[in-house]
Structure 1
């Protein structure tokens, strides 16, 4: 049989890691007394609060416009709400027309990088990286340049500067980090902005997990810079704070001139973000401040349980922990992909190996795992520690 042509960039992109890991469950039976502990994906599994669900339901039943195309750049009220709340939270000035609503934060990343780089260009990603960022760059023919992180999984601006070449278009940071969990100090984020500005490239900061940052107040001062939009691009997701994963609602904040290019991308791939999800996000922003604070407190308590639990695990090493994730070194001589698959069969734990977050040439990934602990409570974390402690392979 003659195959139709395949885009080599897409064909050379690795398979979705979460879907690959789920296939490890095929044929495995988990007894009732030892059910699967799934720490492979960072996504809320519970429904949004009732008030938010009612707001969506009311719109679905009674608002005809909720079922029509909306503005390409998103609901004007939601854009204005983001601008107002972010301006207050970060001590800066953000206008509604500098905000776009997207079909999830992944689409925000795709849209922004499409305005910055084309095939053959380069974007710097600290490692371990968020695999969907790497996948999109591969699909687009953009070279992902790995920036190894040091102690505490913190990237070094000087090391990044040495990687900037004539085709470098941006540096991407994620804080709190996925997969590492670490929160980047404000001074470090500022140093990366100054580097990007000095070298004429963009700084993309993905703050999907900002609502679960352990620090009080603004995590950085970039929006307080009156010229922030010359180099800085901010990404956000409503999925985690308001449990809207299935509705796909994200946001990006950038300059007005770049927003005109973003609009071209979004109009082509989605026409507009989903109306009902945006209605839910707006209602959540206006009504769920205290509820989100409670969710944050619970996540921070689970983080503390993870940190305490790992201090008692012989041979294991925690490299980073925060927001939804712990990033750890395992004690086995097995490479992490094989170790992770055996954890499913022999410990009833599904997690992701570090090789899914690292270049193939980096041996560190063979010793590392990402544990997405946000979906298990403190009792579940205690059980997880017991199972990891029992591992002998």
Structure 2
């Protein structure tokens, strides 16, 4: 039988978070190895549970979950999301402009499919969450990257963003708080990006799935209230702040001038209808999540598990001779850099594979986030703090071996 030909554009798609290294990890586990997997922000895999009042909301309505619902989501759930955004200052946030999906991932794909013609461009951060690049490519668009440099606190330069705008540019994507860097964008920066979108008539797409996960007084600024009449699509969900990844509940809220975005609204509605509807049971938890008890704040405050895991990463990197770190202000990740002798000839993928094979730790290479530099890796902050410190001890062992080998090579070259 001839082999089945796959789509050519798949060769351009990378998703190392669940890619080759994760497959190798499964093979090692099948051999009986016990791994510490820091490759994915999956709270339930580290003992976190969705809040009890969200679980009760689903259980209390389980008898209502058998039928399909409207393609944009349950009316009560959409009203709860709209009310949440109105409270944030989003003018004109109504249930009719809310789309509920099977996680933000599905809505990213739908939103780009509704927007792009072949060859259209989307401005994306580098580093980015690679689903954004993949969805752009698979919907026949072209990712164009604006840099978020470490020496600028991983914040973008608005002048660079505007310089990348071309006649084919359709949208600017923001990830705030950022995955993988943990950067949180200040209001003044967001206002400048809104001005660029207004000037060039671009759609703003703001991935805000980590909006409640903040440390040391960092302040989250939602984009839509600043955007005003500029069309803006804001993404949120239950997976991270509410630790309910497996429920697959996300939403997107379309704001701005309804006349300017009317056709786009209809296109998203059509694509949502083609997949019938999103997971119904999880939608019954949305109102309780957005308008009920805050359950994330304590985890992010001093003494809370996420805060202390973050502290463990910061202190471990500070104590290491081989690592530097811009402390994450939000989200669930840290993005350390390798420096010094260990960084000479460093390849992030080879390092991640060596760490997995020799130390039973799975991380994600930094270049997997569409970053040109090859000296970074991403870890999640979800393990217990003691385990985080243990992981960084293992990371340092690998980096020390590399540093010794580099010094030996230098010494040999000097003697020769």
How many pairs are equivalent? 381
2:170 is paired with a residue whose SS is strand
Aligned to 2:296: 292
In structure 1, the partner of 2:360 is 348
| Equivalent residue, structure 2, for 1:368 | 376
Instruction: After superposing the two structures, state which structure 1 stretch, 190-199 or 9-18, moved more.
Output: 9-18
Correspondence for 1:282: 287
Q: Matched residues in 1 for 2:171 and 2:27: separation?
A: 43
Alignment of 1:192-203 (within 5 A): 192-203=193-204
Report the Cα distance in structure 1 between the residues aligned to 2:135 and 2:337, rounded to whole angstroms. Answer: 27
The alpha-carbon distance between structure 1 residues 325 and 390, as it changes in their structure 2 partners (threshold 3 A), is: same
Q: Which residue of 1 aligns with 2:332?
A: 324
Q: CA deviation at 1:324?
A: 0.4
Give a deviation string over 1:1-50, Cα, whole Å, max 9, x none.
Answer: 33455332235433553243221224436999x95222110121133233
TM-score by length of 2: 0.84
What do the CA deviations read for 1:273-328 (whole angstroms, capped 9, x no partner)?
Answer: 11101112323333332x23223333233323322221111121114523201111
Show structure 1 runs of 5+ residues with no match.
none
1:93 Cα deviation from its structure 2 partner: 5.0
Q: Secondary structure at the match of 2:278?
A: coil
Change (3 A) 1:76 1:218: farther
RMSD across aligned C-alpha pairs, in angstroms?
Answer: 2.4
Q: Over residues 49-88 of structure 1, what are the superposed CA-to-partner deviations in whole Å (9 max), with x where a residue is unaligned?
A: 333223323322xx2x311100111111111111212222
Residue equivalent to 2:414? none
Provide the rounded CA distance (Å) in 1 between the counterparts of 2:278 and 2:12.
29
Instruction: State the 4+ residue runs in structure 1 displaced beyond 6 angstroms.
Output: 29-32
Identify the match of residue 271 of structure 1 among 256, 276, 286. Answer: 276
Aligned pairs (5 A) from 1:125-274: 125-150=124-149, 151=151, 152-214=153-215, 219-220=220-221, 222-225=223-226, 228-255=228-255, 256=258, 257=262, 258-268=264-274, 270-274=275-279
Unaligned segments of structure 2, at least 5 residues: 403-416
* Aligned with residue 386 of structure 1, among 393, 398, 405: 393
Residues 224, 234 of structure 2: 8 Å contact kept: no
C-alpha contact (below 8 Å) 1:123/1:169 kept by paired residues: yes
Q: TM-score, normalised by structure 1?
A: 0.89
Alpha-carbon contact 1:237-1:251 (below 8 Å) kept: yes
Q: Aligned partners of 2:217 and 2:93: how far apart in 1?
A: 21
CA–CA distance in 2 between the matches of 1:316 and 1:30? 32
Bigger Rg over Cα: 2
Kept in 2: contact 1:175–1:210 (CA 8 A): yes
Distance 1:248 1:229 in 2: 30
Deviations 1:326-385 (A, max 9, x none): 1111243330001001111222211000121125xx2x0x21101112x21222222223
